[in-house]
Structure 1
Amino acid sequence: MTSSRIPGHAIDPLIANCRDYWLGWGSAERVDGQLAYYRSGLAHAQLNGVLRLRDIDRLEQSLKDAGERLAGTPWMCWVGPDSAPGTAAGLADHGAVRLGAMPVMAVRTDEVVPAERPPGLEIETVEGRAALKEWVQAYTPSFGVPPNLLDDVVRNELDRRDAGRVTRFVGRRAGRAVGTSLLYDAHGVAGVYVVTTAEEHRRRGIGTALTVAALEAGRERGLTVGTLQAGPSGFPVYERMGFRTVAAYELFQVAA
């Protein structure tokens, strides 16, 4: 997977947007010169992890530090363009298991390919605790988060210190929440996260419409570039919208 660049915009702010979004999952003590990590404390690997390893010569010590700081939770390492060259190979040498790669995609917000909104779909911003809980209930099945963690996820969402950067969207059909998305406004970039669609409503354009809603909100704020990290099912959808791959993360599970 090759890296490229959105004309007139560097990759670094896109990666920084992703890093800051995930750093919002956890306490304030989560970054130092070598290690950037987030800890939600929840028993779900995607909600705890290391986002950047900057010094390959200190990799073993950094993994030890991460293990101490993330003890008691499942976690993973993200290796992207902001990690030191050779980090992925170094993790493999230390017994880490590569889980796969996740493309980082970007598009200019004024060049998103328009899409017709599915009939009957209403998109709203999420306001208030009750609406937030409904939003979390709508997205957690797509991320494999078990129902017993629902209240804990809601508390983590409520406790985010960067709430001013976050705008959440819910898609409804006949009053029922059937999809979600989130705009993260940081580093001059419209980051799009938590794009999900209820299983029985997929392949009808709901995820596309919710992605567009987040990008349009970003453009209204003056953000010229949107970014996201694509899973396998979303990748072709985002390509049709005009996104292109500019970098990638490799994901690793580190042995305890």
Structure 2
Amino acid sequence: MTNDDAVSEAAEAFQTATEWLAGVLPDGLHERGPGGALLAVTRSMIPLLNSIMSVTDVPDAAEIGLLCEKAAPHVAQLPWSIRLRGEPGAEIAGIAAARGLRTLTRQPFMLLSLDEDRDSRESARGPVTVRPLRDDEDQTFATVLGAAFGAPPMIITSLYTPLVLGQPFVRAYLAEVDGVPAGAGLAILTERHVGLANIGTLRDHRRRGVGRALTEAILRDGRAAGAHTAYLHSSEEALPLFERAGFRTRESWATFTA
């Protein structure tokens, strides 16, 4: 497998994970365009979770426009986005602007091979313990994750319900320091890929190895489940954390939001 193949496979795994997540929710919507782009609506208040996503090298403007038309009645009262792996051209920028999505941001897409021996890597140290959460611990997950990202817990619980957390491809994690919640994170498993999302640490516990412990726990469990590659989209602030864990930026994705 070439490096380009690895990135393409991870991008497709991320798209599949988004599709599965929308498919689990009772009010979720997912539909593919003729070229494979995805319309996924979770009805979350997070725009990235109501999106049109293309993971091809060159996004098809006609396909994006078609999916925008299909999305319109479903996202009228929701924050939403257009996410592109490939570079957006002027035509797609115009389509996005016509739908009120005039803000363009870019986000690193990072990969890590799990085929190599990770035992030789530096592991997180300190009094941090990490455990998977049960599906009925959705309130705990929402409270900790919401506090870590400064978001109301109801935004988290509206998406990560007991039904979602009970899915075999979803695993939520809680980090604790001396028995006190310190951070939370999420893993999505799709065959041989594990995606990391929402790795957040409570303010009083930052820079103490909590994020690293969460990351390593997810990678360890993902590898045990058969994943050969881990992927994530990172904020600029979190880049050093993931780089220390071995992730490398492979691409920069474009996102249009309101």
Which TM-score band applies after superposition, normalised by the shorter structure? 0.7 to 0.9
Return the offset for 1:52: 2.5
Mapped partners of 1:71, 1:149: distance in 2: 18
Higher RCO, Cα 8 Å, sep 6+: 1
Are residue 133 (structure 1) and residue 139 (structure 2) matched? yes
* Alignment CA distance shift 1:220-1:182 (3 Å): same
* Alignment CA distance shift 1:77-1:244 (3 Å): same
Residue in structure 2 matched with residue 145 of structure 1 by the alignment = 151
* Alignment CA distance shift 1:43-1:218 (3 Å): closer
Residue in structure 2 matched with residue 211 of structure 1 by the alignment = 215
Residue in structure 1 matched with residue 93 of structure 2 by the alignment = 92
Residue in structure 2 matched with residue 221 of structure 1 by the alignment = 225
1:37-52 aligned at under 5 Å gives the runs 37-52=39-54
- Contact 1:13–1:188, Cα closer than 8 Å, also in 2: no
1:76-115 aligned at under 5 Å gives the runs 76-81=81-86, 87-94=88-95, 95=97, 96-109=101-114, 110=116, 112=118, 114-115=121-122
Are residue 13 (structure 1) and residue 9 (structure 2) matched? yes
Mapped partners of 1:8, 1:76: distance in 2: 26
- Contact 2:105–2:254, Cα closer than 8 Å, also in 1: yes
Q: Quick one: which amino acid aligns to residue 10 of structure 2?
A: L
Q: Quick one: which amino acid aligns to residue 175 of structure 1?
A: G
Return the offset for 1:215: 0.6
Mapped partners of 1:229, 1:239: distance in 2: 12
Mapped partners of 1:8, 1:102: distance in 2: 18
Q: Quick one: which amino acid aligns to residue 65 of structure 2?
A: E
The count of corresponding residues between Structure 1 and Structure 2 is 243
**% of aligned pairs identical?**
19
Q: Quick one: which amino acid aligns to residue 184 of structure 1?
A: I
Return the offset for 1:138: 1.0
Residue in structure 1 matched with residue 204 of structure 2 by the alignment = 200
- Contact 1:22–1:38, Cα closer than 8 Å, also in 2: yes
- Contact 1:59–1:90, Cα closer than 8 Å, also in 2: no
Mapped partners of 1:61, 1:161: distance in 2: 32
Mapped partners of 1:90, 1:204: distance in 2: 46
Mapped partners of 1:125, 1:117: distance in 2: 17
- Structure 2 unaligned runs (5+)? none
Residue in structure 1 matched with residue 234 of structure 2 by the alignment = 230
Mapped partners of 2:154, 2:245: distance in 1: 35
Answer with 34-43 or 67-76: which moved more: 34-43
- Contact 2:196–2:218, Cα closer than 8 Å, also in 1: yes
* Alignment CA distance shift 1:147-1:127 (3 Å): closer
| TM superposition score normalised by structure 2 | 0.81
* Counterpart pick for 1:177 among 177, 181, 193: 181
* Alignment CA distance shift 1:211-1:225 (3 Å): same
- Structure 1 unaligned runs (5+)? none
Mapped partners of 2:145, 2:221: distance in 1: 20
Residue in structure 2 matched with residue 165 of structure 1 by the alignment = 169
| RMSD over equivalenced CA pairs, Å | 2.7
Mapped partners of 1:98, 1:225: distance in 2: 31
Answer with 88-97 or 229-238: which moved more: 88-97
Q: Quick one: which amino acid aligns to residue 172 of structure 1?
A: E
Mapped partners of 2:2, 2:208: distance in 1: 29
